[in-house]
A and B are shown apart, each in its own frame.
Chain A
Amino acid sequence: MEDNTLTQEIKPPDTSKGPVRWLRDNLFSTWYNTILTCLGLVFLFLFFKGFLTWVFTQANWRVIPANLQILMIGPFPIEQVWRIGIVFCTLLTLLGLSAGIWRGIVLQMAIAIVGVCLLLLLIPLDVVKEAENTSATLEFNLNIFYLIFIKRIWLLGGLVLLVGTFFIGRKKDGLKKWIIGGWILSFPWTMIMLHGFGENTISTTNWGGLLLTLLLAAVGIVACFPLGVLLALGRRSQLPAIRWVSTVYIETIRGVPLITILFMGSLLLPIFMPGDFQLDTVIRAMVALTLFSSAYMAENVRGGLQAVPSGQVEAAQAVGLSYSKTMIFIVLPQAIRAVIPAIVGQSIALLKDTSLVFIIGLIELMGIRKSILGNQDWTGLHAEVSIFIAVIYFVFSYSMSIVSQEIEEDLGVGNN
C-alpha cells in the first residue's frame, strides 16, 4: 500500500489561470485598481471611437486598391511584370528547399513569409471596375475570376512552389551545397532579371514601391553581415594597423547620420569613379546602406565575441585548428547566437531606414506615397495612404520580431 503511494506520480499544482481569474488579479484586485481600469476603458473608448468611425465611415480606402500596383512595384512596366514574378518564384523556391532541409530558423522565416503573402492576397483588387466594362453577368463573373487569377498568379505560384519545394527539401539532404550556391547566385540573378538586357532593359529609375524597399533592405541586411563580422574581428585583432582601421571605420560611420552617408554616396562616389563610368543610383543606395549597417553589425558581433569564454579558443587551438577555422567553427557560431536579438533589431531598423533613400531620388514606399498624393484623383488622402504604408512596415517588422523570438526560444536564450 505505502509503496504504491510513494511511486505514484504527483502532478505539479495547477498554476494556470482562467481569463476571469486573470482579469480579477490584474485589473480589479483593489478598489483603486478597479477605478483606474474603468477610467482607462472610458479613455480608450473615446479615443478609438473617433478613429474607428473615421476608418469605417469617412476614410476613402479606394485609394489603396486603385494604387496597389504602384505601391507594390512602383512604375515598373506592367507588361514586364513577369520579371518580378520569376525572381519572386526563384527566391521562394530556394526558401522552400532551405526550409525543408534546415528547418528550425529557416522554416520559421518561411512561415512568416507565407503569412505576409497571404495578407497580400487578402487586399481587395480594383477588378470590379475593369470587369464592369463587359455586360453579361456570366462573362462579368468569369472576368473577375480571370483578373484575380492573372493579377495574383505570381503570388499564388510562388506560394505553391514554396510549399512544394519544402516537401522536396525534406527528402533531399544532399542538396545543401547547391542551395547555398543558389542563394549566392540569387542576388546577381535578381538584378539581371529585373534589369533585363539588350533592348528590353528596364532602367532602375522604374524600380519602386515595396519592391525597391525590400530589395534595399534585403541587400543591406545580408551584405552587412560578412562585412560586419570582418570589422568586429578586425577591431579585436592583434595587429595594430587592422585594429586601428576597423575602429576608425566603425566609429566614423556610427557617428554620422544615414542621410549624410546616402548623400556622400550619391555625391562623392561618382567623383571617385574613373572617367564617365556612372554607378547606378540604386546600387549607390545599396552600397551606402551596407556600409552604414555593417558598422552597427560589427558592434553587435563584437558584443557576442566578448561573450565567448577564452577556454573555447584554447580548446580549439589545442586540437590544432587554425585561427580562421577556430573563428568559423567555434567562436562565431557562439558569438552570433548570443546577439541574435540585437541583430534582428538592427535589421528592423534598417528596413525602416530605407525610407530615407527618397532624398537621393529613389521612389520606395514613401516616394510612392508622395506621387500618389500628387495625383489629382487622390489629393488629401494622406491618412489613408500613410496608414496602409505603416501597416506594410509593421507586418514586415513584426514578422522579423516573431522569428527572432522563436529563434531565441529554440536556442534557449532569454526567458520570455
Chain B
Amino acid sequence: MNENTTNDPIIICEDVHKWFDDFHVLKGITTTFKKGERAVICGPSGSGKSTFIRTINRLEEHQRGTIIVDGIELSNDLRNINLIRQEVGMVFQQFNLFPHLTNIKNITLGPIQVRKMSKKAAEEAALALLERMDIADQAYKYPSEVSGGQQQRVAIARALAMEPKIMLFDEPTSALDPEMISEVLDVMRELAHSGMTMLVVTHEMGFAREVADRVMFFDEGVVVEEAAPADFFDNPQHDRTKLFISQTLQH
C-alpha cells in the first residue's frame, strides 16, 4: 500500500465476461481497485489484458457482469459512457496521436471540445503539462516530427489534460526503442507518486516492483494470481505464474 491509497473503491468489477463472437476472452473477472491504487497487469500474449482494461472505458463492451467506475455503472447509456470517458484517461501502445494536429492541439482538443474550457486556459494547461513531461519545446511540432518517447509523453499529457481520476496504460513502452523506455517510465513514476489511480498493462517488471501496489497475472481470460509485487515476484504460488516470471525475467 502506498501513502496515497485509500479504502474507497473507484472501480468495481463483478464477474465480467466478454466474448469475441464465440471466443471467450474474459471469463469472469471480479476485482476492486481503490482510489490511488496502482495495479500492474501482466500475462502472456492473448490472455485478455488489453481487452480487460479497455472494458473499463467501454472501448470494449462486456456482455455479462457489472463494472462500476466512480459510482457510475457502465451500460449502453451513452451519457454514462461519455461521463466515464471524461474521468478515465487512456494511453495506448501505438500512441494513437492525431497526426494532423500539432502536439499542443492534440492535448487541447479534449478540454476545449468536451470540458468546454476556453482556448487560452486549455493552452496554458497544456503547456504546463508538456513542461511536466519535459517536452515543452515540442509543443508546436507535429507528432511525426518528434521521437517515439516524446510522442508517448504527448499522449500521456493528452490524457492528463482531461484531469481524469483514473489512468489506463496499455503496454505504453512496448513500441519504444530501449533508450526511450526510461523517459516514459520516469513520467509514469512521477504520476504514480502524485496519487493517480493507475492500471498499467506492462512487462516492465522493474517498474512493477518499484511502483505497483498489486500485480495481477492474467492467463486465458482469468486472473490466475494477484499479490503485492514482493510476494508476486519472490513467492509466486501458481506454476503458470512461475513459468511466466522466469520467462519474462530472462529477457
Contacts and interface: CB of A to CB of B under 8 A. Distances in A.
Interface of A: 309, 311-312, 314-322, 325, 329-330, 333-334, 337
Contacts, number: 56
Contact of A321 (B89, B99, B114): B114
B82 A319 contact: no
A176 B85 CA distance: 32
Contacts of B102: none
Interface string B81-101: 010011011101010111110
A312 B162 CA distance: 17
Contacts of B94: 311
Given A315-B98, A316-B98, A319-B110, 7 more contacts: A311-B94, A312-B96, A317-B59, A318-B57, A318-B88, A318-B90, A322-B82
B109 A329 contact: yes
A320 B86 CA distance: 5
A334 B113 contact: no
A330 B105 CA distance: 11
Contact of B159 (A311, A312, A318): A318
B38 interface: no
A320 B98 contact: no
- Interface residue SS majority, chain A: helix
B153 interface: no
Given A315-B97, A325-B113, A320 B92 contact: no
Contacts of A314: 59, 92, 96
B99 A319 contact: no
A330 B59 contact: no
B158 interface: yes
A320 B165 CA distance: 14
Contacts of A320: 82, 85-86, 110, 114, 162
Contacts of A322: 82
A229 to B, nearest CB: 16
Given A319-B162, A337-B100, A329 B113 contact: yes
A311 B90 CA distance: 12
Contacts of B82: 320, 322
A334 B162 CA distance: 23
A311 B98 contact: no
A316 B98 CA distance: 9
Contacts of A317: 57, 59, 85
CB-based closest 5 A-B pairs: A315-B96, A319-B110, A318-B90, A311-B96, A320-B85
Given A318-B57, A319-B114, A330 B85 contact: no
Contacts of B97: 315
17 contacts: A311-B92, A311-B94, A311-B96, A312-B98, A314-B59, A314-B96, A315-B97, A315-B158, A318-B57, A318-B59, A318-B89, A318-B90, A319-B110, A320-B85, A320-B162, A322-B82, A334-B98
Contact of A315 (B86, B88, B92, B114): B92
Nearest to A331: B98
A309 B98 CA distance: 11
Contacts of B88: 318
Contacts of A333: 100
A321 B96 contact: no
Contacts of B98: 312, 315-316, 330, 334
A327 to B, nearest CB: 12
Contacts of B114: 319-321, 325
A319 B109 contact: yes
B158 A319 contact: yes
Contacts of B86: 320
Nearest to A323: B78
Contacts of B158: 315, 319
Contacts of B159: 318-319
A238 to B, nearest CB: 12
Given A311-B92, A312-B98, A333-B100, A318 B113 contact: no
B172 to A, nearest CB: 13
A329 B88 CA distance: 21
B52 to A, nearest CB: 15
Chain A CB count within 10 A is highest, among B57, B94, B96, for: B96
Contacts of A334: 98-100
A322 B78 CA distance: 9
A322 B109 CA distance: 12
A321 B110 CA distance: 7
A337 to B, nearest CB: 7
A329 B114 CA distance: 12
A319 B100 contact: no
Given A312-B98, A315-B92, A315-B98, A321 B109 contact: yes
Contacts of A316: 98
A317 B85 CA distance: 7
Nearest to B112: A329
A222 B237 CA distance: 67
Contacts of A329: 109, 113
A333 B155 CA distance: 20
B59 to A, nearest CB: 5
